[in-house]
Structure 1
């Protein structure tokens, strides 16, 4: 009587199908890659243009701004989640201070943490939202205050980098 392993290896087509199915299940469980992940978009905040990198997968959201050089004054990272939920961020392996803005599903600012310092030793403190958030925008420290981005501020969603320029508010 053949062993189950020998039966599988003697049938390459069955083995290939089984491995393919396992890879598909693993891919779905981990989170399918997004075509937007890592791409650059433009956001207009307080009449100023910001170039933001999208973080749309579990891996890119976990990595965030870790092990990167400081953001320029007109740069940021936008974390996009599939649902609204309470969120919390930390500054592990980030070497510069940032502002963390939590936005709801309607792109309204629900919480902000300003000039959050880098974490120098474990355990790193968390910076939670006090309301459900679907999007989290990280900007250079001091940007939220400079642009008067307060709780309730409506933010325009990101647009492709080559989109027509938006006219600054009068």
Structure 2
């Protein structure tokens, strides 16, 4: 019996380690289910300004997470962006507050995300629809550790 308990404990610990927060990944969950995306982090003014400009493709379960120093009003545009994107705007607790689907490559129209946004996740257009991601969904990432995260690491 002791060996079986040790195996079960090891499997539980491995599962928890796999689900732990990682700098290069975000998890999303909601009534629709869960999803994990491998991300690049844009957490400096220069990195946020460049974003995904001039990229010709991005893997399906990949994205870019734009992290701000504090919650604020944000807006994006698609200047020099070559691939259509979905944008997921998230507050400091990790709750999705706004979603913009199918942003048009090269469009200079401002895409407002609202007030109180701490992070924005950009993924390939169609991902939000394919997974059923909705406003109110929750995000987990280490950036929310210093805040009152709704889904802590």
TM over 0.5: yes
Q: Indicate if the aligned counterparts of 1:108 and 1:154 stay in contact, CA closer than 8 A.
A: yes
Contact 1:49 1:74 in 2 (8 A): yes
How far 1:69 moved relative to its partner?
A: 2.3
Cα deviation, residue 147, structure 1: 1.5
Q: For 2:115, what is the secondary structure of its paired residue?
A: coil
- Please give the per-residue CA displacement for 1:27-67, whole angstroms capped at 9, x wherever unaligned: xxxxxxxxxxxx96122234333110000100000000011
Rg (Cα) greater in structure: 1
Indicate the RMSD between aligned Cα atoms, in angstroms: 1.9
Say whether residues 1:88 and 2:71 are aligned partners: no
* Bigger proportion of residues as strand: 2
Matched, 1:149 2:133: yes
Within the candidate set 27, 51, 62, 1:44 is matched to: 27
Which residue in 2 is equivalent to 1:63? Answer: 50
Gaps of 5+ in 2: 1-21, 144-153
May I ask how many residue pairs the two structures share in their alignment?
Answer: 118
Answer yes or no: is the 8 Å Cα contact 2:84–2:104 preserved in 1: yes
Deviation per CA, 1:111-147, whole angstroms, max 9, x where unpaired?
0100111125xxx101001332010000000111211
Mapped to 2, the partners of 1:152 and 1:41 lie a distance apart of 23
Q: Give unmatched runs, 5+ long, in structure 1.
A: 1-38, 160-170
Higher relative contact order (CA 8 A, sep 6+): 2
SS at match of 1:71: coil
TM-score for the superposition, normalised by structure 2: 0.71
Query: Offset of 1:152 from its aligned partner?
Result: 1.1
- TM-score with structure 1 setting the length: 0.65
Q: Is 2:117 aligned against 1:133?
A: yes
Q: Could you tell me how far apart the structure 2 residues matched to 1:70 and 1:139 are?
A: 11
Using the alignment, how far apart are the partners of 1:47 and 1:110 within structure 2? 17
The runs of at least 4 aligned residues of structure 1 exceeding 4 Å deviation read none
